Homo-oligomer: A and B are copies of this chain.
Amino acid sequence: MPALSVTEAHDLIRSALIGSGTSAGNAAYFAQAILDTELSGLDGHGFYWLQFYCRHLRSGKVDGKAVPRVEAVSEVGFRVDAGHGFAHPAIEAGFRRLIPAAKAHGVAAMGVYNSYNAATLGYHTGVLARAGLLGIGATNAVPTVAPVGGRVPVIGTNPISYAVPAPGGEIAFLVDQSATAVAWTAVKRAADAGEPIPPGWALDRNGEPTTDAEAGLAGSMAPAGGVKGFSIGLLVEVLCAALAGGRLGPDQGSFTEDDGRPIDNGQFFLALDPDAFSRGGFAPAVTALTASIMAQDGARLPNARREASRERLAREGLTIDADLLARLRAFA
C-alpha cells in the first residue's frame, strides 16, 4: 500500500475537494477534518468517503461553493443554512458565533439545515472543547434503523458526540458514537468486500438478525442496546430534523446514489461554558473522573485509541489503497 506523509495526505484531500468543485474557503476546515479522521484510524470515514464527496460534487448533489448563512435567533441561538453545500463550512461559520456566545452567556445552541454528511462528528465537538467549552453534537443521516419491533428504517445511525475540555486548550476525553451497534460504514465495507458480518450488527428486511452484509444493507441496522440505542437515535432525529430543520430520514437525498439530489440533513450543536456553571469545579472533577477510569486495568478513556493512532500515524505516515489513491488523484 502506498504511504503518504501528513503533508502529502493533506494536499491530496484538499486538491481532490477543490478539483471537484469546492471553493478554497470551503475546503480548508473540511480537509483538516478528513485528515484528522484518517489520522485517528477511522479509515472508513477519511480517504474512503472522500471519493463519495468528490462524486457528489461532480453530480451536483452538493454545492462546494455554497456560502453558509448564519441567522441569530437570539444572542445564544443560531440557525445555519448550509445552502445544500457541505456541512463543514456551515458548522465552521456557525461556530464563529456559537463559541463567543457560549463564553459570554454560559450556554448556546445552533442548528444546521440544508446540510450534508457531517463526517466524523467528533472533529466538530473537539473544536468546541479546544475552545474551552463542553461541546455536544448530533447529526441525522439517511434512514437505516427501524424502531424496535418494526421493520422499516425511520432514522439513521444518528451519531452523537461530546468533547470534554481540559485546561490549556486540551481535550480531556471525547466520545463519538452512532446509535447503532456498529457504524453503517462497517456493514457497507463488508458488503463491498463480499464478507459476512457478525451477529448483532444488522437485521434483514423481515426484521430478523442476519450475518449477510447485503441483506443487512437491504434491511436495517441493529440499535446499540436495543430500544435504548433507538431512543438516543430518535433524540438526534428530533434535534437535527424537527428542531434544526434538516430533512427527516426518509425525505433525505441518498448518500450512495449519484442522482444530483441534495441530502439536506441537519446537525445540532450545544456548547456549555463549564466554569460559568461549576465556578471552577469542572477541571478537578473531570481529572478525578478520568483517573478513576484509567486506574483500572483493561479500562480506557473513550478516545484513547484514536489519540494513540493520531500520534503513531503523524510519525509514521498514512497508508492508502493504491486504487483509491488513483481515484482520488483523478479528482484533483
Interface string of A256-300 (1 = CB under 8 A from B): 000000000000001010101111011001101100110011111
> For the complex, is A36 an interface residue (Cβ under 8 Å from B)?
no
One of A24-32, A41-49, A69-77 contacting the partner: A69-77
B228 touches A147 (CB 8 A): no
> For the complex, is A106 an interface residue (Cβ under 8 Å from B)?
yes
**A window 136-167: CB within 8 A of B:** 136, 146-152, 154, 162, 164
B228 touches A77 (CB 8 A): no
**A window 72-131: CB within 8 A of B:** 73-77, 79, 104-109, 111
Complex CA–CA separation, A56 to B162 (angstroms): 35
> For the complex, is A177 an interface residue (Cβ under 8 Å from B)?
yes
- Which residues of the partner chain B approach A109 to less than 8 Å between Cβ atoms? 106-107, 272, 277
Complex CA–CA separation, A249 to B93 (angstroms): 38
> For the complex, is A198 an interface residue (Cβ under 8 Å from B)?
no
**A window 225-263: CB within 8 A of B:** 225-229, 231-232, 234-235, 237-239, 241-245, 248, 250
- Which residues of the partner chain B approach A281 to less than 8 Å between Cβ atoms? 242, 245
- Which residues of the partner chain B approach A299 to less than 8 Å between Cβ atoms? 146-150
Interface string of A293-332 (1 = CB under 8 A from B): 1001111101000000000000000000000000000000
> For the complex, is A217 an interface residue (Cβ under 8 Å from B)?
no
A229 touches B235 (CB 8 A): no
> For the complex, is A181 an interface residue (Cβ under 8 Å from B)?
yes
Q: Given A150-B299, A286-B242, A75 and B228 touching (CB < 8 A)? A: no
Q: Which residue of B has the minimal Cβ distance to A153?
A: B292
Query: Which one, B107, B111, B250, contacts A108 given CB within 8 A?
Result: B107
Residues of A within 8 A of B (CB-CB), count: 71
> For the complex, is A175 an interface residue (Cβ under 8 Å from B)?
yes
- Which residues of the partner chain B approach A76 to less than 8 Å between Cβ atoms? 76, 105-107
A272 touches B243 (CB 8 A): yes
Q: Is the interface of A mostly helix, strand, loop or mixed?
A: mixed
B235 touches A162 (CB 8 A): yes
A277 touches B245 (CB 8 A): yes
> For the complex, is A224 an interface residue (Cβ under 8 Å from B)?
yes
B149 touches A278 (CB 8 A): no
- Which residues of the partner chain B approach A9 to less than 8 Å between Cβ atoms? none
- Which residues of the partner chain B approach A77 to less than 8 Å between Cβ atoms? 105-107, 276-277
Complex CA–CA separation, A64 to B138 (angstroms): 39
Query: Which one, B232, B250, B277, contacts A243 given CB within 8 A?
Result: B277
B276 touches A231 (CB 8 A): no
- Which residues of the partner chain B approach A231 to less than 8 Å between Cβ atoms? 175, 177, 302
Complex CA–CA separation, A162 to B292 (angstroms): 29
A binding-site residues for B, Cβ under 8 Å: 73-77, 79, 104-109, 111, 134, 136, 146-152, 154, 162, 164, 175, 177, 181, 207, 223-229, 231-232, 234-235, 237-239, 241-245, 248, 250, 270, 272, 274, 276-279, 281-282, 285-286, 288-289, 292-293, 296-300, 302
